[in-house]
Amino acid sequence: MSTNDTNIASYIDHTILNADATGADIERICAEAAKYRFFSVCVNPIWVSTVSAALAGSGVLTCSVIGFPFGATPTASKVFEARGAIADGANEIDMVINIAAARAGDEEALVADISAIADAVHEGGAILKVIIETSMLSDDEKVLACRASVRAGADFVKTSTGFGGGGATVEDVALMRATVGPDLGVKASGGVRSLETARAMIDAGATRLGSSSGVAIVEGEQGAEGY
Active-site positions read 94, 158, 187
Nearest Cα neighbor of 110 from 167, 150, 139 is: 150
Beta bridge partners of 13: 40, 210
Please, how many CA atoms are within 13 Å of residue 118, restricted to the half-sphere of its CB?
A: 20
Nearest Cα neighbor of 137 from 105, 181, 114 is: 105
Beta bridge partners of 41: 14, 62
User: Residue 184: which H helix or E strand, with range?
Assistant: none
Length of the chain in residues, anyone? 227
Please enumerate in sequence order all residues whose Cβ is within 8 A of that of 214, keeping only pairs 6 or more positions apart, or say none.
Answer: 9, 12, 14, 15, 32, 33, 36, 38
Q: How far apart are CA 76 and CA 81, in angstroms?
A: 9
Whether the ω angle into residue 182 lies within 30 degrees of 0, i.e. cis, is no
